[in-house]
Structure 1
Amino acid sequence: MPAPRQRSVLITGCTDGSAGAALALAFHAAGLRVYATAREPARAAGLAAAGVEVLTLDVLSGASIAACAAAVAAAGDGALDILVNNAGEQGVMPVADADLARARRTFELNVWAPVAVAQAFLPLLLRAPAPLLANHTSLAAVVALPFQGVYAASKAALAALSGALRLELRALGVRVVELRSGGVRTGILRAARLDAPPLPAASALAPARPLVDAALRQDALAARGIPADAWARAVAADLLRPAPPRVVRRGESAWLDLLLPYLPAWLVDKLAADAVGFAPIEAAIRDDRAKKLKAH
Structure 2
Amino acid sequence: MPDQRKTVLITGCSPGGIGNSFAREFHAKGLRVFATARSRSVLADLEALGIETLDLEVDNEESVTKARREVERLTGGGLDVLVNNAGRNYTVPAMEAQQDEILKTFEVNLFAVVRMCQEFAPLLIKSKGTIVQLGSLAGTMPFVFGSIYNASKAALHSFSDSLRLELEPFDVQVLTIITGGVRSRITRTERFLIDDSLYAPIQEHYDRRVKFSQEGAMPNEAYAASVVGSVLKEISRHERRRKWSTWLFGSSTITSGLGFYWRQTRAWIWEGNGAWKVWFAHRFAPKWVLDYFMYRKFGLNLLRADVEKKASLSGREKAASTTEAKKDE
TM-score normalised to structure 2 length = 0.81
Q: Does 1:201 align with 2:198?
A: no
Tell me the equivalent position of 1:147.
145
Which has the higher Rg, Structure 1 or Structure 2?
2
Q: How many residues align?
A: 288
In structure 2, the CA distance between the partners of 1:29 and 1:294, relative to structure 1 (3 Å rule), is farther
Q: Deviations over 1:208-247 (max 9, x none)?
A: 3x325423532x4433221100110111111111135211
How far residue 281 of structure 1 moved from its aligned partner, in angstroms, is: 4.8
Q: Is the 8 A contact 1:238 1:245 kept in 2?
A: no
User: Structure 2: which amino acid aligns with 1:59?
Assistant: V
Q: Is the 8 A contact 1:145 1:273 kept in 2?
A: no
Tell me the equivalent position of 1:107.
106
Q: Does 1:189 align with 2:186?
A: yes
In structure 2, the CA distance between the partners of 1:295 and 1:229, relative to structure 1 (3 Å rule), is farther
Tell me the equivalent position of 2:25.
26
User: Structure 2: which amino acid aligns with 1:253?
Assistant: G
Tell me the equivalent position of 1:267.
289
In structure 2, the CA distance between the partners of 1:245 and 1:291, relative to structure 1 (3 Å rule), is same
Partner of 1:249, secondary structure, is strand
Gaps of 5+ in 1: none
Gaps of 5+ in 2: 238-264, 319-329
TM-score normalised to structure 1 length = 0.90
- Paired residue for 2:232, among 237, 240, 251? 240
Q: Is the 8 A contact 2:281 2:289 kept in 1?
A: no
How far residue 271 of structure 1 moved from its aligned partner, in angstroms, is: 2.4
CA RMSD of aligned residues (A): 2.1
Whichever structure has more helix as a proportion of its residues is 2
In structure 2, the CA distance between the partners of 1:61 and 1:4, relative to structure 1 (3 Å rule), is closer
Following the alignment from structure 1 to structure 2, what is the Cα–Cα distance between the partners of residues 138 and 287? 36
How far residue 288 of structure 1 moved from its aligned partner, in angstroms, is: 4.2
In structure 2, the CA distance between the partners of 1:252 and 1:151, relative to structure 1 (3 Å rule), is same
Greater relative contact order (Cα 8 A, min sep 6): structure 1 or 2?
Answer: 1
Q: Which runs of 4+ in 1 moved over 3 A?
A: 273-296
Tell me the equivalent position of 1:39.
38
In structure 2, the CA distance between the partners of 1:199 and 1:74, relative to structure 1 (3 Å rule), is same
How far residue 267 of structure 1 moved from its aligned partner, in angstroms, is: 1.6
In structure 2, the CA distance between the partners of 1:34 and 1:145, relative to structure 1 (3 Å rule), is same
Partner of 1:93, secondary structure, is coil
How far residue 293 of structure 1 moved from its aligned partner, in angstroms, is: 4.7
Q: Deviations over 1:267-289 (max 9, x none)?
A: 21122235545554554455445
Tell me the equivalent position of 1:86.
85
In structure 2, the CA distance between the partners of 1:53 and 1:201, relative to structure 1 (3 Å rule), is same
What are the residue-to-residue correspondences of 1:1-296 with 2, within 5 Å? 5-128=4-127, 130-186=128-184, 188-192=185-189, 195-196=190-191, 198-208=192-202, 210-218=203-211, 220-241=212-233, 242-243=236-237, 245-255=266-276, 256-276=278-298, 278-296=300-318
User: Structure 1: which amino acid aligns with 2:215?
Assistant: A
Partner of 2:57, secondary structure, is coil
How far residue 120 of structure 1 moved from its aligned partner, in angstroms, is: 0.4
Percent identity between the two aligned chains:
32
Following the alignment from structure 1 to structure 2, what is the Cα–Cα distance between the partners of residues 234 and 200? 39
